Structure 1
Amino acid sequence: MSIHYDSNNKIFHLKSKKSSYIMQVVKEGYLAHLYWGKKVRETRIPNPLRFMDRGFSANPDKRDRAFSLDTLPQEYPSYGNTDFRNPSIHIELPNGASITDLRYHHHEILSGKPDLEDLPATYVEDDSEAETLRLQLKDEETDLYVSLFYTVYQELDVITRAVFVENNGTNELLLSKVASMNVDFRESQYEMINLPGAHVRERDMERLPLRRGKQSVESSRGASSHQQNPFIALVRPETTECTGEAYGFSFVYSGNFEASVEVDQTSQSRVTMGINSFDFSWLLEPGETFQTPEVVMVYSSEGLGEMSRTYHKLYRERLCRGAFRDQERPILINNWEATYFDFNEESILEIADQASKTGIELFVLDDGWFGKRDDDHTSLGDWFVNKWKLPNGLNHLGKKINEKGMQFGLWVEPEMVSVNSELYRKHPDWCLHVPDRRRSESRNQLVLDFSRSDVCEEVLSRITSILESAPIHYVKWDMNRSMTEIGSKSLPAKRQRETAHRYILGLYWVLEKLTTRFPNILFESCSGGGGRFDPGMLYYMPQTWTSDNTDAISRLRIQYGTSLVYPSGSMGSHVSEVPNHQVGRVTPFETRGHVAMDGNLGYELDVTKLSDEELQQISEQVQVYQSIRKTVQFGDLYRLVDPFQCQNYSTIHVNENKSEAVFFYVHVLAEANGPFDKVKLDGLNPDKDYRIIETGEVFGGDELMYMGLNVPYPDHDFKSVMWRLIEQQ
């Protein structure tokens, strides 16, 4: 049993593999948080809650001036009853008031993990993998029921949280905020880590001490965004990659979100995560319900690395789904940086022919194959083949590529529409817009209104027709702008602020239909690169184009930051030409290959213009990657050298039984008369010996982990190594 209830003391104890989460019903039904951390055997609570009369902290019971919700650590705080901190839920009542008083009403313990209606979420394949606590709160005045769901995975230090709201009263209620989780820590000696960034500069790592007041990260762009990722962690000041406590919070959602930490007057820390309440509301008529997305909470007592590996394993095995969840991903070539819009059937087949000779396994035709798409001013939404470029159609092209021994893939951007398109001329109100306001364009395009079922059904029909028309094995699903003028013609005025969330629900509906109908197509998510790299998309598409920035040195920080939450097998990473198209940098072909091999290897260049030497390097990289990709894509990742702390970078991937490993190291800038560097490896079996294939040397796992391994002296900028380690029998 993972979930225990002490009925005498009204204490709930949730036990994962190495952690405990404890809460208690106190006073007149308030749900208090007691502990989350390293696993304890019992719930005798040597540090029970303490109360005192504090000035300006109001009291729900005037007979007890020591008790106030203003200082009580809570599980799901509401607004208006003596708690002045950030609430988890905020509801507007018909009389204009916004007060709710949620008290414990009922609970049940369930085997397994229930699905979330219409939303992506982690799952179990057998009910023995997890237990779920459904803990119901009630507001007596309105007959509002709020069910808190806690799922505990037996073999991972994971607790998932979600909330289900029911209006069982006779009046309509307006949800203006409904978070998916809240945790009140009884201290504030933490640092917060988040992943800020920008387009082509995604997921930097920022780590700062908590300060008094509220600190938050959020997106109001309609997608999870390049600017912030739906993830934060609280860590102790002394926490490192390998030691110390870390608490991770990851939101399984692809739209607007907010994650906040509020440090209060008594140095307690309130962590809240959910749909961004800015420009959000949801009308609940009597009898209606609302389901929040899921938050995945991970505890580690062994540093950030262990937290990350827990997320990686869960997301690889119990978030990603379908045939490609456990399949090695193909090595692909994409024509975008080779041709942009300027291509025809002949030039595409020339690239495919040359690529096939190197052993590349999949050709992806990018933007420009449809409508009258010669630039980014036209044709989004017109999902029919551009016969001027491809006179014989996609089916003929795909079969020709198949004949060369390669699979065929296709780029699409179904959520967008060009003003200069047949679709827009026929349905000008199918985009997100507000009457009498201009329709702001970005990349010369508007956003289709996926909150509308008729739009979703039409897009589904058009994309289905394309996918059925040719031998397509891979789809790159792009989304190249943020949302503006967020409104829908299909919704009444009082529901307009539901549009952004309804859009995401519509998107999920389309993706569920498509991925179910085409189980043998590998879908890759993209939003200008990493603008929607989130767990919600991984549920439908097991990999994401990590960034539109293909420069190998820029990618060190991007891929390192991404790995804090997301597994290597979810990261698309390509070798591109130099000077690099984004930053103009010139890096060695070998280094570009090594950085790309640290994720899902692909190529983004015109192979018809490469030298024989470069083509030979591609062939060698392909062969090497084929020998290591199972370990890279499905093994355990250990981060060894942090490019945010120094310029250099190193990781190692270790397979499940620790018999094979792949070590990467990149030294960014050479230094005259510089030091010799070594790297201490991690994740190996100290009792095994390992042979380094590239050097022939044999060392003990203990030697490599404790003494360290010399790396080559950097005699030029951007020097890298990739070494394969194999157990020596």
Structure 2
Amino acid sequence: MTHHRWTLRTDRTSYTVRLSEDGPWAELDAWGPHGSEDGPSAFDRSRRTHFITPADTAPAEYLPSGLRPFTGADLIASRPGGDRGVWWEFAGAEEGEGTLRLAFTDDVLGLRTVLCYDTVPGTDVVRRWTEHTCTGGEPLRLERFDSAAVNVPASDGVRLTCLAGQWSQEFQRTQLDLTRGTFTIGSVQGVPGHAYAPWIAVQDRTAPHDGPAPTYGLALEWPGNWHITAEAEPGGAVRVRAGRVPHEGAVLLAPGDTLTTPKLACVFSPDGLDGLARAQHRYERLLTGERIHRTRKVLYNSWEATGFDVDAAGQLELAEAAAGIGAELFVVDDGWFTGRADDTGGLGDWYPDPAAFPQGFDRFIGQVRALGLDFGLWVEPEAVSPGSRLHAEHPEWVYRVKDRPARLVRNQLLLDLGREDVQDFVTGTLDRLLTTYDISYLKWDMNRPPTERGRPGAGPAGELDLDAAHVRGYLRVLDHLRTAHPHVTVEGCAGGGGRVDHATIARTDVVWPSDNTAPLDRLRIQYGFLHVHAPHVMSSWVTDAPGLFDPRPRSLAFRFVTAMCGVLGIGADLRAWGPGQRAEAARWTARYKEVREVIHHGEARLLGTPDDPTCGVQYDAPDGRRTVVAAFSTGRLDGAPLVPGRAARLRPRGLDPAARYHDTATGTTYGGAHLLHYGLPFAWSAGHDAELVVLTRQ
């Protein structure tokens, strides 16, 4: 059976799968740079087993519980009321250009499972997912149906890197060593959640923390319940499983139906976490498609300035100030619609408040646009207030459990977006707003998880698969927006960074990483975010917010340079800023416009960490002609000029040592070798704690 071997090739890597000699399953043979498949497999093993089976030690791509009883199965299936277990046989392979499909069947149970692979041209991504079809006359009960399992050779354990946190502290880079046992992250909150991002990276435990090293990354494309589980298995291997988690504990698969799991994007880089990040950024630029060429405009959002106290006069005053500092887009946040004096009412009744806009909402938008600004609006389409007209007319549209009280979170309930009538209401509402008014930007928020997740009268919960139904409804609405209103820029938000995944990124233009905009807090959030996600999707604002976790004060320059690392926005109350602050803001905004194409389309490199006294982010233009470095002072000062001191240094990476690089702001010309060896100098002081350097290659 050794001739059953297939290799998928990406731009720089190869992924080789073989049929096992031990049983009816597929195994990973090699995954690494081109040529790594030539030679004995790193996954070859002695095949001696005690109290386990050969399948339990195999580097299996996917195995059911019947064949793999002890060390973590990827599929658990049964007939309702029957015994669990799948014992399948190999049923054939289909190989295409950059694609592979391996089929396995269990005729006794009535199940056909296909392991699916494809590569993404222009990237180093191999995507994996599974298709499960009920081929018998009875339904099947699926308790677990992961997307894929990935094996990593490790003789002495691995280092795992994930992004953990909580609301207002999302995307904190977290690392741990796993030598034996199991590590699991995930969410059952109906969205990826604030606690963990659906991504993990795996390296050898002895690899340098921030240097070149073989590194494997996995990201799950699913904006619902999910898990990623790493298991250090007998014999020195680590196996990572990932997939969605059914809210009901299991789903029923009817005869003839097929369940397709979410895609798992698998990436290898020899260049450590930084190289892995650049590989993932390339993939996200491809997910964005043609919209990658759309200029992401500098926005002003009114929430920090006015909260729910929204009226035409106050918003226009802010819009005039925003236009004066160079903003290109004005977004009215929560509070613009009828019944929305605070967070206890209004959601679901999406009509402009006539008291707030006495001359009409369209006239107000026209006044904003007359200032040279595009116009945007905040919405929360999945939410409904108990006192709203929508809830009075359609109480059945809300998630609830029969004969149980509905719990309020943030004084609101959640619509069952898995229902087609609710989807039609949401698309109809957004169509009405986007066709009635001249709106070019939509911020889609979601501020509560589903709690009492039921649909009374619709059948047993296990037959409904409510989590998947909600995800399908959410994606259907986003797909409609993309098709029906292609000119509208869509921002994804869920109480901050609670819904950031590849399915959302493929259908939105930017996402909101966190509600925390404090400077040093935000720097850490964005440092973690950029480990996985590309700068062109990272919306970031300049505000006056004090630190929640790190309250040390930072300059306006620090706040601007931090926000310029992605898609620049401003959310401060500009009415409280003096002429000097506004003039400085205008200068920073103008500088950002000069370099945003490099930031959004270039290769990003993380220079150090926020734990270092000086850290930064480097962006190299695709043609190599410009390099932009955002540098930050996060540590103690050197005491100069009262005592001897030297400038802090930040070393760029990836430059041409034989080239020369000119900084037009200072007039300094550097040799590439000098920059790589010594770094850029920064004389930090209490008033000078961030800088943006633009180097032009000569």
Report TM bin, short chain: over 0.9
> Which digits, 9 at most, give the CA deviation of each residue in 1:523-580, with x for residues without a partner?
0001111111221211110211121111111111100000011001111111112556
Q: How does 1:265-664 map to 2 (within 5 A)?
A: 265-277=234-246, 279-317=248-286, 319-322=287-290, 324-489=291-456, 491-495=458-462, 498-577=465-544, 579=546, 586-643=553-610, 645-646=611-612, 648-664=614-630
Q: Against the structure 1 CA distance between its residues 699 and 44, is the aligned structure 2 distance closer, same or farther, given a 3 Å change threshold?
A: closer
Match of 1:716 in 2: 686
Counterpart of 1:591 in 2: which secondary structure?
helix
Q: Look up the match of 2:642.
A: none
Equivalent of 2:167, from 165, 182, 199?
A: 199
Distance in 1 of aligned mates of 2:218 and 2:548: 35
Superposed displacement of residue 82, structure 1: 4.7
CA distance in 1, matches of 2:113, 2:66: 17
Q: Quick one: distance in 2 between partners of 1:47 and 1:604?
A: 52
Q: Deviations over 1:182-205 (max 9, x none)?
A: 123343531111100111100101
CA RMSD of aligned residues (A): 2.0
Aligned counterparts of 1:26 and 1:351: Cα–Cα separation in 2: 66
User: Structure 2: how far apart are the matches of 1:640 and 1:450?
Assistant: 42
Contact 2:141 2:250 (C-alpha < 8 Å) held by counterparts: yes
How far residue 588 of structure 1 moved from its aligned partner, in angstroms, is: 1.2
1: CA distance, partners of 2:247 / 2:176? 25
Q: Which residue of 1 aligns with 2:30?
A: 35
Partner of 2:660: 689
Cα displacement (A) at 1:137: 1.5
- For 1:581 and 1:464, the matched residues in 2 are separated by 38
Q: Compute the displacement of 1:423 (Å).
A: 0.6
Distance 2:349 2:570 in 1: 28
Distance 1:300 1:402, change over 3 A: same
1:18 to 3, 12, 25: 12
Equivalence for 1:90? 76
- Give, in whole Å, the separation in 1 of the partners of 2:438 and 2:570: 21
Aligned residues: 690
Distance in 2 (alpha carbons) for counterparts of 1:548 and 1:32: 43
Counterparts of 1:25 and 1:46, CA distance in 2: 13
Is the contact between residue 578 and residue 585 of structure 1 (CA under 8 Å) also seen in structure 2? no
Q: Which residue of 2 aligns with 1:249?
A: 218
Asked if the contact 2:7–2:15 (Cα under 8 Å) also holds between the matched residues in 1, the reply is yes
Distance of 2:597 and 2:192 partners within structure 1? 29
Structure 1, unpaired ranges of 5+:
1-6, 59-67, 112-130
> Does structure 1 residue 99 correspond to structure 2 residue 93?
no
Check the 8 A contact 2:161/2:201 in 1, yes or no: yes
Cα-to-partner distance string for 1:329-368 (whole Å, 9 max, x where unaligned): 0001000000001121111111111221222100000000
For residue 211 of structure 1, what is the amino acid of its counterpart? T
Deviation of 1:675 after TM superposition, in Å, equals 6.1
Q: SS of the counterpart of 1:401?
A: helix
Corresponding residue for residue 159 of structure 1:
126
1:608 Cα deviation after fit = 2.1
Write the distance in 1 (CA, Å) between the matches of 2:518 and 2:201: 28
2:60 corresponding residue in structure 1: 74
Q: Tell me the TM-score normalized by structure 1.
A: 0.91
Distance 1:282 1:623 in 2: 54
Asked if structure 2 preserves the Cα contact closer than 8 Å seen for 1:670 and 1:715, the reply is no
Larger displacement relative to structure 2 (162-171 or 29-38) = 29-38
Question: Taking structure 1 as reference, are residues 467 and 278 closer, same or farther at Cα in structure 2, changes over 3 Å only?
Answer: closer
After TM superposition, the score normalised by the length of structure 2 is: 0.95
Preserved CA contact (<8 Å) 2:347 2:380: yes
- Distance in 2, Cα, partners of 1:104 & 1:648: 55
> Deviation string for 1:244-277 (max 9, x for gaps)?
0110000111111100011123232111011025
In the TM superposition, residue 637 of structure 1 has moved relative to its aligned partner by: 0.4
Confirm or deny: 8 A CA contact 1:668 1:718 kept in the other structure. Answer: no
Q: Point out where structure 2 has 5 or more consecutive residues left out of the alignment.
A: 640-644
> Could you tell me how far apart the structure 1 residues matched to 2:328 and 2:457 are?
44
Structure 2 Cα separation of the partners of residues 8 and 571 of structure 1: 46
- Asked if the contact 2:614–2:650 (Cα under 8 Å) also holds between the matched residues in 1, the reply is no
Write the letter of the residue equivalent to 2:653: D
Cα distance change of structure 1 residues 462 and 153 upon mapping to structure 2, 3 Å threshold: closer
Q: 1:344 to 1:583 in 2, by over 3 A?
A: farther
The one-letter amino acid of 1:231's match is W
Percentage of matched positions with identical amino acids: 29
Q: How far is 1:169 from its partner?
A: 1.3
Aligned residues of 1:70 and 1:85 also touching (Cα < 8 A): yes
Give the CA deviation at 1:12. Answer: 1.5
Supply the AA of the counterpart residue of 1:417: V
Partner AA of 1:677 in structure 2: A
Q: Aligned partner of 1:548: which letter?
A: D
Task: Say yes or no: does 1:110 pair with 2:78.
Answer: no
Change (3 A) 1:580 1:407: farther
Closer/same/farther in 2, CA of residues 508 and 448 from structure 1, 3 Å limit:
same
Once the two structures are superposed, the pairs formed by residues 184-223 of structure 1 within 5 Å of their partners are 184-187=151-154, 189-223=157-191
Structure 1's 206 and 296: CA in aligned 2 closer, same or farther, altered over 3 A?
same
